């Protein structure tokens, strides 16, 4: 029997990508571990770009299970929250 992990709903990733701030993101909508495809969709880049970030050690929360590469969603969202900069509208207020 071939057991495949549950694919993440594209709408839940897009909802989280719209508001990357870790304090505002509903982390319950994302699974604990994300695949490289899920991370690429969330960050809006290619899978090759994610693999390059992993190889350089730039992406936090990387977990390797045999040949699979997974990323902890809470570490990724926290890291993205630290990398974000305020928009010019937020600075003026």
Rounded distance between C-alpha atoms, residue 23 and residue 44, angstroms: 20
Looking at the domain that runs over 10-16+27-84, which CATH code has it been given? Answer: 1.10.10
56-66 pLDDT per residue, tens: 999 999 999 99
User: What pLDDT score does 19 carry?
Assistant: 47
Per-residue pLDDT at 77 exceeds 70: yes
Cβ-defined contacts of 71-76 (< 8 Å, 24+): 71/33, 71/34, 71/35, 71/36, 71/38, 71/39, 72/32, 72/33, 72/34, 73/27, 73/30, 73/31, 73/32, 73/33, 73/34, 74/22, 74/27, 74/32, 76/34, 76/39, 76/42
User: What pLDDT, in 10s, does the model give residues 6-58?
Assistant: 555 555 555 555 544 444 445 568 899 999 999 999 999 999 999 999 999 99
Residue ranges in the chain assigned as alpha helix (H): 10-18, 36-43, 47-56, 73-83, 88-92
């Amino acid at each position: 029997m071939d057991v495949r992990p549950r694919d993440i709903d594209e709408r839940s990733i897009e909802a989280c990508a719209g508001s990357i701030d870790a304090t505002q993101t509903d982390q319950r909508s994302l699974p604990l571990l994300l695949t490289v495809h899920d991370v690429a969709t969330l960050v809006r880049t290619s899978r090759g770009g994610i693999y390059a970030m992993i190889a350089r050690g730039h992406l936090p929360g990387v977990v390797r299970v045999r040949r699979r590469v997974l990323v902890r969603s809470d570490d990724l969202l926290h890291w993205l929250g630290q990398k974000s900069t305020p928009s010019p509208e937020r600075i003026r207020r």
